[in-house]
Structure 1
């Protein structure tokens, strides 16, 4: 996987972080269809890779006060986030999906383009174990129509993520 650099206009906080940390990655841009029912499945199809290699970034509300009130779960786009497993990985009894507007404010990205990298405010992050068995995975690059391919170990290091089985069916 070769490191790709693009004009400043395509830069996002995610690509800026990867460049600054000298992490190899490949950008995969595609034409986003606003009527698409699933941003992640659309990305997998547009890029031409199995959905199990494309990961979505989901935010959950933890019920904790203050900055710790949200956490990030990263799961394959063809799977759901198992909220009970996510809560357990966080050492909590319960979590629920975060309000999309709150997730957008917290991350600085729009829904469908929330990258786990370069978020405005860092949140505790859990990556599904399935990612670690792959040579490379795809995550949102910071806007709809842009995915980044990188090694899961690099994603884990940059997000300071924990790894747990959090994907449901």
Structure 2
């Protein structure tokens, strides 16, 4: 894969990947503001199976804010996420807090290049694919990269945190 920050509009995510020397491919698409699910919209627009497209969600735990990355067709298992980071409980973070802490808008939150480095957990199903898609830091932009590179750039770990 080529590094194409120019095609991505130079978001913090593409800048971070380029600076780290991590190969990625930017996949811009026309975003429909009326879309019910940003992630499923991306999968359909890009012609990629939803299991390979991942959404970035923030949860508030008794250990602080945590990033969970799960397939767009699934849901985040908050109890499993809490367990993965050694917390006792987790609830979805307030969207305004998520935007403020990451520097991204809801629907375009990338796990890469966030304003504040947060503990990150990637669902284990990502390892089934050579590459996965995550938000590139704005609505209408996904980045394709290897799961191992996603873990490296985020300092993340893998756990079973998704459910159907």
Range class of TM-score, shorter chain: over 0.9
> TM-score scaled by structure 2?
0.97
1:23-82 CA distance string (max 9 Å, x none): 111000011000000000000000110000000000000134xxxx20000000000000
Q: What are the residue-to-residue correspondences of 1:5-84 with 2, within 5 Å?
A: 5-6=5-6, 10-64=9-63, 69-84=64-79
Q: Structure 2 unaligned segments of length 5 or more: list them.
A: none
Deviation at 1:6, TM superposition (A): 1.2
> TM-score scaled by structure 1?
0.94
Q: Would you tell me which structure has more strand in proportion to its own residues?
A: 2
Deviation at 1:163, TM superposition (A): 0.6
What number of residue pairs does the alignment pair up? Answer: 164
State the partner residue of 1:91: 86
**Rounded Cα–Cα distance in structure 1 between residues aligned with 2:154 and 2:76:** 18
Moved over 6 A (4+): none
Quote the RMSD (CA, aligned, Å). 1.1
Deviation at 1:91, TM superposition (A): 1.2
Conserved? CA contact 2:62–2:88, under 8 Å: no
Q: Structure 1 unaligned segments of length 5 or more: list them.
A: none
